[in-house]
C-alpha cells in the first residue's frame, strides 16, 4: 500500500501560532516533563503548570478543595492540592480481586475515600496527596490496573455497552474494545519507571510514538462500542462509535459514527455539541485499521492553534465530511460500505436482576452519582467489599455510572441479594426518574466546575419526583442530567432536560433531546437560577403529562408541541 497521506485540504490554519499545550508536549520528552523531580519535592503539594498538563496523560488531574481555597489563603497555606486518578478499564470490567485492591487503596491512600464510577465506565479516586501517588500506582499495578492515557490529548478509556445478557456478542465486542484500547496506548516505556520504580528515567534512549508522534493528538479522543437497541454509552458523545450489527445470530461488523462530541465553551458560539456522521459499515476485522486511520487524520488535520476548536468534530466541519472520509479510506485502504439499519431505544441501565442467555444472573445496582462511599445508613463501600469477598463472577461499570454484579450462579443469588439489600446498594423505592438522572463530579474538587452538579442532583431529582407524582405520571421519567461546566462529563447536551453550569447557582437549560439519545437539545434558557429551573420543570412536566401522545417521551413532546425548536444541525441550531 503506497498511499501518501494528504495534508489538510483547507489552509485556514496556515501561519497560525500553535497553542501553548503544543509547546508543552513537544518539550516534554515523551510526556515526562519534570514530573520525577516534582514527586521528590516535599515542600510543594502540586506540579508546575507545564507538568499539570502532562500528568493528565498519565491519568491524573491536579485539583484542590475549592471549598477551602479562600480559607487556606488566609491561613498562609497552599491550596490543598490533591489528585484525581482515573483508571483505565476498557469496557469497565473488573474482577472481585481487583475490586478489593481498589477498595483498599481508596481507604488508605485517598482523602475522600470514595470509588467514583464515571460516565466512561471506569473509576476515579479523588483526593490523592502527591506523596500517595506512587503507592497507588504500585498498588493498582499489583492487580493489573493502570491509568495511562485516561486523560490528555490521546485516545482515552474505550467504552463498550455493558450488556451481560446477550453475553456471546458482548464478550466478542468487549475483546475488540480492549484490543482497540491497547492499540492506542503509548509506546513509551518510561511510565513504569516513573511511577512504579521511582527511578529517574534515562532520557537518551531512542524513543518514538509512530501512532501519535511526539505531539500526540490536538485534543482528547474517545472511542466507544455499542450494541443496539441500548445506547448506554451515548454514541453522540464520542469521536468514533462502532455500532454493532448483528445478522442471523452473528456479529458481522459495525457502522462507524465519526465526529460527535458534547463539549462547548460559554460565550463562544463557534463551539457547540455535535452529533456524529455515519461513515458507513465495515467488517469487524477492519475496526482497528479504521480507528487508526481516523486518529491519524485527526492528528494531522486537527486544529493545534485553538484548543476550543481542536476536536475531531470541528476538523470534520472545517474540511467537510467527504474529504475527511475519503482520507480515512485512503489511509486505511478500506472502503466504507453502506450503513446497515439499527435502532436505539433507550439509554438507561436495566436496574435489578436479569438472567442472561448463559443462565447466569446479573444484578445491576443503581449508584447515585456513581459515588461508592459509606454514607450514613448506606454503607455502599462496605457492601461492595463484602460482595467482592464472595462473588465468583466479575463487576461491570456502566456508562451511566452504575455497577453490575455479573455472572452470579443461581445458588449464589440469594447471598448477593442479601448483601446488596443490607448495605443499601439495592433499594425498593428507587424511581425510574432517579435511575435516569445523572451528574458529573463538579464541586468541590473539579477545577473546571462553574456550578454544583453531584451535590445538587439528588435534591433536584426528589423535586422532579414530586412533580411527576403531582401530575399523575409517577412511573414516567425524563432523561435529566446536570453538568458543572460545558465540558460535558455529565452529558447534559444529550439530555431531555439538561443543566449546564454557568456560575454559582446558575445554569443554562437545554431542552429537547430525546430518550434514545439521537438528538441534541437546544439552549432553552440561559443563566436560570434554581427557582426558574423548578418553575420550568413544573410547567413543562405538567403540560407533558396532559398533552402528550401515547408513549411520547418528554423531549419529543417539547419539540412536537413547539416549546423548543428541533436541533437539526447543531452548529446552526444549538443556541437560542
Partner 1 sequence: MLLKELSSLTSPLSDLQLNQLQQAIAELNPNQLAWVSGYLSGISQGGAVVATGAVSAAAVSAAPAGQLTVLFGSQTGNSKGVAEELAASAKAQGLPVQVKSMANYKAKDLKTETHLIIVVSTNGEGEAPDDAIELHELLGSKKAPKLPDLKYAVLALGDSSYEFFCQTGKDFDERLAATGAQSFLERLDCDVDYETPAKEWGDKALKLVSETLTLSVQAAPVAQPFAAPASFATSQYDKKNPYTATLVTNQKITGRNSQKDVRHFEISLEDSGIQYRAGDALGVWFENDSELVDQVVKQVGLSGDEQVEVDGEKVSLRQALISHYELTQSYPGFVEKYAEISGSKKLAKIAADKAQAREYANSHQILDILAVKKNVSLTAEQLIAMLRRITPRLYSIASSQAEVEEEVHLTVGMVEFESEQGDARSGGATGFLKRLEEGGEVKVFVEHNDNFRLPANPETPVIMVGPGTGVAPFRAFMQERDAQGAGGKNWMFFGDQTFTEDFLYQVEWRGYLDSGLLTKMDVAFSRDQEEKIYVQHRLLENAAQVYQWLEDGAHFYICGDANRMAKDVNDALVKIVQEQGNKSFEEAEEYVSELRRAKRYQRDVY
Query: Is residue 104 close enough to count as binding partner 1 by CB under 8 A?
Result: no
The active-site residue, picked from 25, 109, 116, 220, is 220
160 in active site:
no
User: Which residue in 10, 20, 78, 205 binds partner 1 (CB under 8 A)?
Assistant: 78
Query: Is residue 76 close enough to count as binding partner 1 by CB under 8 A?
Result: yes
The active-site residue, picked from 485, 502, 515, 519, is 485
321 class by beta-carbon count within 10 Å (0-12 exposed, 13-18 middle, 19+ buried): middle
Q: Please tell me the count of residues contacting partner 1 according to CB under 8 A.
A: 16
Query: Is residue 75 close enough to count as binding partner 1 by CB under 8 A?
Result: yes
Query: Is residue 68 close enough to count as binding partner 1 by CB under 8 A?
Result: yes
Question: Do 157 and 150 form a contact (C-beta atoms < 8 A)?
Answer: yes
Query: Is residue 206 close enough to count as binding partner 1 by CB under 8 A?
Result: no
Of 50 and 349, nearer to partner 1 (C-beta) is 50
Asked whether the bond before 444 is cis by omega within 30 degrees of 0, the reply is yes
Please give the distance of CA 517 from its chain centroid, rounded to a whole number: 15
Query: Is residue 359 close enough to count as binding partner 1 by CB under 8 A?
Result: no
Question: Do 223 and 239 form a contact (C-beta atoms < 8 A)?
Answer: yes
User: Can you tell me the distance from the alpha carbon of 457 to that of 343, in angstroms, rounded to the nearest whole number?
Assistant: 30
User: Which residue in 131, 270, 355, 470 binds partner 1 (CB under 8 A)?
Assistant: 131
The alpha carbons of the chain give a radius of gyration, in whole angstroms, of: 23
220 in active site:
yes
318 in active site:
no
Query: Is residue 20 close enough to count as binding partner 1 by CB under 8 A?
Result: no
User: Which residue in 17, 77, 354, 569 binds partner 1 (CB under 8 A)?
Assistant: 77
The active-site residue, picked from 86, 311, 350, 371, is 86
Of 69 and 200, nearer to partner 1 (C-beta) is 69
Q: How far is the CB of 76 from partner 1 (least distance, A)?
A: 5
User: Which residue in 2, 42, 204, 551 binds partner 1 (CB under 8 A)?
Assistant: 42
User: Can you tell me the distance from the alpha carbon of 199 to that of 135, in angstroms, rounded to the nearest whole number?
Assistant: 14
Question: What long-range pairs does 165-171 form, CB within 8 A, spacing at least 24?
Answer: 165/350, 165/354, 165/355, 165/356, 165/357, 165/362, 166/227, 166/356, 166/357, 167/356, 167/357, 167/358, 167/360, 168/357, 169/227, 169/244, 169/246, 169/251, 170/227
User: Which residue in 40, 74, 341, 551 binds partner 1 (CB under 8 A)?
Assistant: 74
Query: Is residue 43 close enough to count as binding partner 1 by CB under 8 A?
Result: yes
Q: Hey, which residues between 249 and 278 contact partner 1 (CB under 8 A)?
A: none
Q: How far is the CB of 404 from partner 1 (least distance, A)?
A: 36
Query: Is residue 38 close enough to count as binding partner 1 by CB under 8 A?
Result: no
DSSP codes of every residue in 523-565? EEEEEE-HHHHHHHHHHHHHHHHHHPPTT--HHHHHHHTTSS-
557's grid cell: 413532546
Of 83 and 254, nearer to partner 1 (C-beta) is 83
440 annotated ligand binder: yes
435: helix, coil or strand? Answer: helix
Of 1 and 43, nearer to partner 1 (C-beta) is 43
Q: How far is the CB of 120 from partner 1 (least distance, A)?
A: 29
269 in active site:
no
Sequence-distant (6+) residues with CB within 8 A of 572 are: none
User: Which residue in 25, 80, 109, 222 binds partner 1 (CB under 8 A)?
Assistant: 80
Angle at 323 between CA 322 and CA 329, to 5 degrees: 90
489 annotated ligand binder: yes
How far, in Å, are 340, 473, 476, 539, 558 from residue 546 at the CA level?
37, 10, 13, 11, 13
User: Can you tell me the distance from the alpha carbon of 484 to that of 434, in angstroms, rounded to the nearest whole number?
Assistant: 18
Query: Is residue 40 close enough to count as binding partner 1 by CB under 8 A?
Result: no
Question: Do 463 and 534 form a contact (C-beta atoms < 8 A)?
Answer: yes
289: helix, coil or strand? Answer: helix
The active-site residue, picked from 25, 80, 120, 156, is 156
User: Can you tell me the distance from the alpha carbon of 323 to that of 314, in angstroms, rounded to the nearest whole number?
Assistant: 13
489 in active site:
yes
446 annotated ligand binder: yes
69 in active site:
no
Angle at 220 between CA 218 and CA 221, to 5 degrees: 105
Q: Where on the chain is the footprint of partner 1 (CB under 8 A)?
A: 42-45, 68, 71-78, 80, 129, 131
Residues annotated as catalytic (active site), given as ranges: 86, 156, 220, 222, 440, 446, 485, 489
As annotated, the binding site for [4Fe-4S] cluster includes 440, 446, 485, 489
Residue numbering of the annotated binding site for siroheme = 489
Amino acid at each position: 500500500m503506497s498511499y501518501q497521506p494528504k495534508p489538510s485540504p483547507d489552509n485556514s490554519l496556515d501561519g497560525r501560532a500553535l497553542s501553548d499545550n503544543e509547546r508543552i508536549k513537544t518539550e516534554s520528552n515523551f510526556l515526562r516533563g519534570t514530573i520525577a523531580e516534582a514527586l521528590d519535592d516535599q515542600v510543594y503539594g502540586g506540579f508546575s503548570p507545564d507538568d499539570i498538563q502532562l500528568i493528565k496523560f498519565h491519568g491524573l488531574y491536579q485539583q484542590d478543595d475549592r471549598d477551602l481555597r479562600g480559607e487556606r489563603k488566609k491561613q498562609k497555606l497552599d491550596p490543598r492540592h490533591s489528585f484525581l486518578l482515573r483508571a483505565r478499564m476498557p469496557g469497565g470490567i473488573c474482577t472481585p480481586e481487583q475490586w478489593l485492591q481498589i477498595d483498599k487503596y481508596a481507604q488508605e491512600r485517598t482523602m475522600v475515600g470514595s470509588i467514583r464510577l464515571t460516565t466512561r465506565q471506569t473509576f476515579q479516586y479523588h483526593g490523592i496527596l502527591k506523596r500517595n501517588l506512587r503507592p497507588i500506582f504500585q498498588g493498582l499495578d499489583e492487580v493489573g490496573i493502570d491509568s495511562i492515557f485516561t486523560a490528555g490529548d490521546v485516545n482515552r478509556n474505550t467504552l463498550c455497552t455493558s450488556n451481560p445478557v446477550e453475553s456471546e456478542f458482548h464478550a466478542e465486542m468487549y475483546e475488540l474494545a480492549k484490543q482497540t484500547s491497547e492499540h492506542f496506548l503509548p509506546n513509551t516505556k518510561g511510565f513504569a519507571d516513573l511511577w512504579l520504580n521511582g527511578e529517574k528515567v534515562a532520557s537518551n534512549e531512542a524513543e518514538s510514538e509512530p501512532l501519535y508522534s511526539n505531539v500526540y493528538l490536538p485534543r482528547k479522543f474517545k472511542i466507544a462500542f455499542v450494541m443496539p437497541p441500548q445506547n448506554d454509552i451515548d454514541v453522540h458523545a464520542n469521536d468514533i462509535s462502532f455500532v454493532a450489527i448483528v445478522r442471523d445470530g452473528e456479529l458481522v461488523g459495525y457502522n462507524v459514527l465519526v465526529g460527535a462530541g458534547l463539549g462547548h465553551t460559554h460565550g463562544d458560539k463557534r463551539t457547540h455539541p455535535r452529533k456524529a456522521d455515519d461513515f458507513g459499515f465495515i467488517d469487524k476485522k477492519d475496526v482497528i485499521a479504521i480507528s487508526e486511520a481516523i486518529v491519524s487524520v485527526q492528528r494531522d488535520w486537527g486544529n493545534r492553534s485553538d484548543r476550543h476548536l481542536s476536536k475531531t468534530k470541528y476538523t470534520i466541519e472545517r474540511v467537510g465530511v467527504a474529504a475527511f472520509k475519503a482520507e480515512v479510506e485512503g489511509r486505511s485502504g478500506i472502503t466504507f460500505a453502506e450503513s446497515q439499519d439499527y435502532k436505539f431505544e433507550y439509554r438507561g441501565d436495566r436496574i435489578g436482576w436479569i438472567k442472561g442467555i448463559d443462565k447466569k444472573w446479573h444484578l445491576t445496582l443503581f449508584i447515585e452519582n456513581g459515588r461508592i462511599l459509606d454514607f450514613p445508613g448506606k454503607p455502599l463501600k462496605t457492601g461492595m467489599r463484602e460482595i467482592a469477598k464472595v462473588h465468583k463472577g466479575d463487576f461491570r461499570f456502566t456508562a451511566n455510572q452504575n455497577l453490575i454484579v455479573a455472572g452470579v450462579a443461581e445458588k449464589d443469588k440469594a447471598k448477593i441479594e442479601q448483601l446488596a439489600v443490607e448495605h443499601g446498594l439495592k433499594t425498593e423505592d428507587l424511581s425510574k426518574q432517579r435511575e435516569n438522572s445523572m451528574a458529573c463530579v463538579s464541586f468541590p474538587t473539579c477545577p473546571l466546575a462553574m456550578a454544583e452538579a453531584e451535590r445538587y442532583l439528588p435534591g433536584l431529582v426528589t423535586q422532579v419526583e414530586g412533580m411527576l407524582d403531582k401530575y399523575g405520571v409517577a412511573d414516567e421519567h425524563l432523561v435529566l442530567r446536570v453538568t458543572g461546566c460545558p465540558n460535558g462529563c455529565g452529558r447534559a447536551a444529550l439530555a431531555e432536560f439538561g443543566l449546564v453550569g454557568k456560575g454559582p447557582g446558575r445554569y443554562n437549560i437545554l431542552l429537547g433531546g430525546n430518550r434514545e439519545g439521537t438528538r441534541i437539545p437546544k439552549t432553552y434558557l440561559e443563566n436560570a437560577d434554581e427557582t426558574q429551573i423548578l418553575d420550568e420543570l413544573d410547567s413543562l412536566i405538567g403540560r407533558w403529562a396532559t398533552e402528550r401522545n401515547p408513549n411520547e417521551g418528554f423531549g419529543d413532546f417539547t419539540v412536537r408541541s413547539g416549546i423548543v425548536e428541533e436541533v437539526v444541525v447543531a452548529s446552526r441550531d444549538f443556541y437560542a
